[in-house]
Amino acid sequence: MVNINNIQKYRFVCTLTFGDIYGQIIVWLITITISLAAALALMGARRPVYALATVGLVVLLSLPFLLFAFVTTLLNHIELSPVEAGTKMEPIPGNVSQQQPVEATS
């Protein structure tokens, strides 16, 4: 049986910033640029459908890797820490999603 008095509150904070995923976005943009360059090179061929297939294939195959990299980076930047009962929480200025404990002034 779970005692309701023993349940702790937890502080859930995501510390992900744009700088954490910036490199992943740059790599994906480079991949897309190379794909488009390959498509332009194939446009002069007899069958330009190959050019469109090349772009589609590269995008289709690279999206799961981008998604996996982003999701794992996001999960690595989630903090979950117990908060003592009676601790008042207030938002950190400039970032509403993060909260920090403050001293109780009674």
pLDDT band, residue 2 (cuts 50/70/90): low
Q: Which helix (H) or strand (E) is 99 found in, with range?
A: strand 95-102
Pick the closest to residue 79 from 102, 103, 100 (CA basis).
100
| Domain range summary for the chain, segments of one domain joined by + | 17-77
**Phi, psi dihedral angles at 101 (to 5 degrees):** -70, 150
Amino acid of residue 103: E
Pick the closest to residue 88 from 99, 71, 101, 78 (CA basis).
101
Residue 105 clears pLDDT 70, i.e. is over it: no
Q: Which residues pair with 102 in a beta bridge?
A: 88
Instruction: Decide: pTM greater than 0.75.
Output: no
Q: Give pLDDT tens digits for 40-78.
A: 888 877 778 888 888 888 888 888 988 998 899 999 988
pLDDT at position 71: 92
